[in-house]
Amino acid sequence: MPEEMVGYIVGQVETGEFVFVTDTETYPLRYEYLVVRDVKEKINGEEEWIDVLAQVTRISNRSDILSDALSFDEVETIISKYSGTTKVFGKAKVLGYLNDRDEVMMPRSAAIPSQKVYTASSERLSRFFTKNRGNGINVGGLITREDVTVQLDPNGFRKHVAIIAQTGAGKSYLVGLILENLLPLGATVVVLDPNSDYVMMKNHREGGSSAIRDNVTIYRPPGIKGRRYSDEDIGGAENYTVEFNKLSENEIFEVAGINEDWVHLRGIISDALKLLEGTYGPKQLLDRLNWMAINEETKQRQDYAGRAANYIRRLLGYEIWGSANIPLDELIQPKNMSIIDLAGLQRNVTQYIVQKTLADVWNLAVTGQLPYPVFLILEEAHNFAPADQRGFSTGIIERIAAEGRKFGIFLMVITQRPGKINSNVLSQCNSQIIMRLTNPEDMKATRNSSEGLSEDLFNDLPGLNKGEAVIVGDLTKIPTMIKVSGRTTGEGGSDIDLDAALNRALEDYNRGKRMKPEEAKDKEYETEW
């Protein structure tokens, strides 16, 4: 796109913003990028001429004849006799200029009134927004210029990343797009997926296999009923099992949902565990508690054993308890993505799996056994590191957020409720990709955790459309507004077509009604009365 003149700078000009006058034919749209050429700047004591990039923040139309003090009848009278002239004004914020090392610098001088304003060329914008042209991760284009590709700098992931968006804004699509472009760079990725959002990534979204199929392994606990996608749908899955007898007492209490204040129930389970030997599962523990409920010396201990048995009995409904854990060496291979599908599990069990997976990777890292960087993708992070309580997995998430980067562990925290996530975790994410937000509590939490989110960008969040996002932090040179596009892998987290689903339900109902045989009248009881 060539650089065409769209107006003149007018009024008082600041170093960070300016007003320009344009017309109804050539005015730029809101969020469009502009350039002011040959602004005089002092650099190292020398005067130089720089080209300053800016972004339109407001477009307004004004008429000097038709003021807002007029009545309806007065306006009608005026427009019937005169053809008023509409004045078009725009306001733009200054984004900076590029120095001789292609670094973005903020000017310390201002343009002057009467200087021409041009639309910025695609080539100029590409230089301005692309931080790493070699191994950059494509995530779409600029919000008003989709032909200008925006690439994320892989080095920006070193200080953790948060992806924040309300439901339906397109965050699962975005995360999948990032992962399918990060993996070919050699990344080791572990995805903790509580809603089966990423299980379709072996498939191409248009059908057939995706380009990364051979580098993706999906782990699923066996025996889960009612999944959205079968193993065949997702291109096959490996069983995720946990050795029950390797769990500590506290881990058993946690997965069984036994509160830490219930000391008597915990005590009776501890006594039961001491009586078990070799390889055992929840069934053997349940059998021991049932025996104790009958044979304990006191009625009180019998009661405790019976109540504890009820909690352990719940664990029998899951086939996750097996004779082997996932081999850690498989999870940490280079150019490998492991997706752990947690959908359908009891929340306590899900919490345990998240805690165990993160702790296992952490232990490898701190003992020098992590040969490659690992990217940990934590979907629905507010459920695993909640703000208002200490979840079972909160401690390890906080520790990785605070210290993981030193050991080659990098978090991607994904949430639609930033107001409900642990503030220590969110604040450690130096880069954020923020999509549409309207909830005041969530907007406040996002603002508090993001140093790079300006007042203008913050106020724009409720007005973003689906698939649009603001990037702040080290992923790009400057805060950037994008339109996300380009994903090729299948998407598991997309919303269902409710209208089509209801139509199918109605068709099935009507078909069943037509096929149902008429009930024969019982003539024996039929009378004229």
**What is the DSSP track for 204-258?**
BTTSSB-TTGGGEEEEE-TT--S-SS-TTTTT--EE--EEGGGS-HHHHHHHHT-
Q: Which of 399, 401, 396 is nearest to 384 (CA)?
A: 396
Q: What is the pLDDT of residue 67?
A: 86
State the average pLDDT over residues 300-316. Answer: 92
> What span, in angstroms and rounded, lies between the C-alpha atoms of 230 and 234?
7
303: Cα separation from own chain's centroid: 46
| 326, pLDDT greater than 90 | no
Looking at 27-169, list the stretches that DSSP marks H as alpha helix, in order from N- to C-terminal side.
72-81, 122-129
Residues 398-423 have a mean pLDDT of 94
Q: C-alpha distances in angstroms, 440 versus 289, 421, 431, 443, 459?
A: 49, 15, 21, 5, 11
The reply to whether the predicted model has a pTM over 0.75 is: yes
Enumerate the CATH 3.40.50.300 domain ranges in the chain, comma separated: 149-240+326-484
> pLDDT: is 408 or 456 the higher one?
408
Once rounded to an integer, what is the mean pLDDT over residues 309-330? 84
pLDDT in tens, 34-68: 999 999 998 888 899 999 999 999 999 998 888 88
Measure the CA dihedral 284/289/294/296, to 10°: 120
pLDDT in tens, 220-250: 988 888 888 999 999 999 988 888 888 889 8
Distance CA 246, CA 354 (A): 16
Residues with Cβ within 8 Å of 385's Cβ and at least 6 positions away in sequence, in order, are: 391, 393, 394, 397, 398, 421, 422, 425
Distances (CA, A) of 37 to 96, 112, 118, 336, 389: 12, 11, 8, 47, 54
Quick one: which of 243, 289, 245 has its CA closest to 266? 289
Amino acid identity of residue 12, one-letter, is: Q
**Residue 171 φ/ψ, nearest 5 degrees:** -70, -35
Whether the CA torsion 498, 502, 508, 512 is positive or negative: it is: positive
Q: What is the mean pLDDT of residues 378-399?
A: 88
In Å, what is the CA distance from 204 to each residue of 231, 293, 449, 487? Answer: 16, 55, 36, 9
- What backbone phi and psi angles, to 5 degrees, belong to 242? -130, 135
DSSP-assigned beta bridge partners for residue 440: none
**Taking the CB of residue 85, how many other CB atoms lie within 10 A of it?**
11
Cα angle, residue 376 at apex, residues 348 and 366 outer, rounded to 5°: 95
Please report the sign of the dihedral spanned by the C-alpha atoms of residue 166, residue 453, residue 470, residue 143: positive
pLDDT interval class at 525 (50, 70, 90): very low
Quote the pLDDT of residue 526.
47
Which pair of tokens denotes residue 19?
């007003």
Does the structure show a pLDDT above 80 at 515?
Answer: no
Cβ–Cβ contacts within 10 Å for residue 223, how many? 11
pLDDT tops 90 at residue 493: no
β-sheet with 149-152: strand ranges across:
149-152, 137-142, 480-484, 468-472, 431-434, 161-164, 409-415, 374-378, 188-193, 336-341, 216-220, 238-239
Residue with tokens 């498939």: 203
Which amino acid is located at 274 in the chain?
Answer: K
Going from the C-alpha of 473 to that of each of 38, 192, 499, the distances in angstroms are 29, 24, 40
Fold of 149-240+326-484: Rossmann fold (3.40.50)
